[in-house]
């Protein structure tokens, strides 16, 4: 499926929104623990989705099996990964967290053929994963050598979050044919319902008194990056197809890094740039299209006149 100018515009807007989520999280983490930040994001977004579904005339499921499926999706695609991302952001920058998050397609390329019969391992997939692993090793190098201001273990939550997103993509296959608004809303509501008792029991969230700045950051996470972000993503998914929608992965780390630079006067470690390029090259190799187009272009140029 080809992307029209409107689709490209949606892709850029989505990258900005999801890049901003790392910056919003950084603001909220100044006063709240990671689990509370994650749960509040989905609790506020879930309330908005109730209104969205109501206005759309879409009834909520009434059977336990559907809610079980949405609960698993809410865990894998929302509560677990964002909880892990915020946990890691206590030690690393938003830009680095977004780079680690961008490895999700590499994990997907590695595990999807193990669970879905229509997916197959290929040289491109394996080569892309290898490039991605090298990129992560480059990113972790300073921490391993003891010359970074963060521990190497601080990178693990971001990688675990990317792995959770990959499993979520596999689980999400079962929702084919359903309303994208319903799927987006129900998984977010499920994540909120599962996170709320944990937030109260583990974090004792009632003791916190967030400032207005933190409430605004939580509102941005809920309304902009979750509700609006999901609606744009699923619209893009239907208009341009899943492969084109996946291109947002390339744009989120630059967007997050630029916004963090302006908002917090922060900068990426110098090794983060080559690491990001290696990871992106791996994703491109897994995707296959950029390399295929390059080979086709070179082949046409070599053809005799």
Helical segments of 89-224, H only: 94-101, 104-115, 123-145, 156-171, 180-198, 212-219
Per-residue pLDDT averaged across 133-153, rounded? 82
Among 171, 225, 168, 165, residue whose Cα is nearest residue 37: 225
pLDDT value at position 269? 74
Tokens of 51: 């209104």
> pLDDT tens across 74-112, in order?
999 999 999 999 999 999 889 889 989 888 888 888 888
- Round the average pLDDT of the chain to a whole number and report it: 85
* 118-73-171 Cα angle (round to 5): 10
pLDDT in tens, 280-297: 888 888 766 555 555 454
How far is it, in rounded angstroms, from Cα 195 to Cα 98?
A: 23
For the chain, give the percent of residues with pLDDT over 90.
Answer: 43
pLDDT, position 141: 80
Q: How far apart are CA 188 and CA 41, in angstroms?
A: 9
Query: What's the pLDDT band for 218 if we cut at 50, 70, 90?
Result: very high
User: Exposed (0-12), middle (13-18) or buried (19+): which is 298, by Cβ within 10 Å?
Assistant: exposed
Return the H-helix or E-strand segment holding 121.
Answer: none
Percent of the chain exceeding pLDDT 70 equals 90
């Amino acid at each position: 499926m080809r992307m029209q100018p409107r689709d490209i515009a949606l892709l850029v807007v989505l990258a900005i929104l999801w890049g901003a989520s790392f910056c919003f999280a950084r603001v909220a983490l100044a006063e709240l623990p990671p689990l509370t930040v994650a749960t509040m994001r989905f609790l506020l977004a879930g309330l908005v989705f109730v209104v969205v579904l109501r206005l759309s005339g879409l009834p909520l499921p009434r059977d336990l099996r559907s809610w079980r499926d949405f609960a698993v999706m809410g865990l894998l695609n929302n509560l677990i990964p964002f909880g892990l991302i915020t946990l890691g952001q206590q030690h690393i920058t938003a830009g680095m967290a977004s780079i680690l998050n961008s490895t999700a397609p590499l994990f997907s390329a590695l595990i999807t053929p193990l669970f879905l019969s229509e997916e197959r391992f290929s040289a491109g997939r394996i080569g892309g994963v290898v490039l991605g692993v090298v990129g992560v090793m480059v990113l972790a190098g300073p921490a391993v050598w003891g010359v970074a201001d963060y521990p190497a273990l601080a990178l693990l939550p971001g990688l675990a979050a990317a792995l959770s997103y990959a499993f979520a993509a596999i689980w999400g296959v079962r929702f084919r044919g359903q309303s994208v608004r319903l799927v987006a809303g129900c998984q977010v509501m499920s994540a909120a319902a599962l996170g709320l008792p944990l937030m109260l029991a583990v974090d004792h969230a009632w003791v916190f008194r967030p400032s207005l700045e933190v409430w605004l950051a939580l509102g941005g996470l809920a309304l902009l990056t979750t509700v609006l972000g999901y609606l744009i993503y699923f619209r893009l998914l239907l208009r341009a197809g899943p492969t084109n929608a996946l291109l947002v992965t390339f744009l989120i780390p630059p967007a997050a890094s630029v916004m963090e630079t302006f908002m917090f006067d922060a900068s990426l470690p110098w090794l983060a740039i080559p690491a990001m390029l290696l990871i992106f090259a791996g994703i491109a190799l897994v995707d296959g299209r950029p390399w295929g187009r390059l080979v086709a272009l070179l082949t046409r140029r070599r053809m005799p006149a």
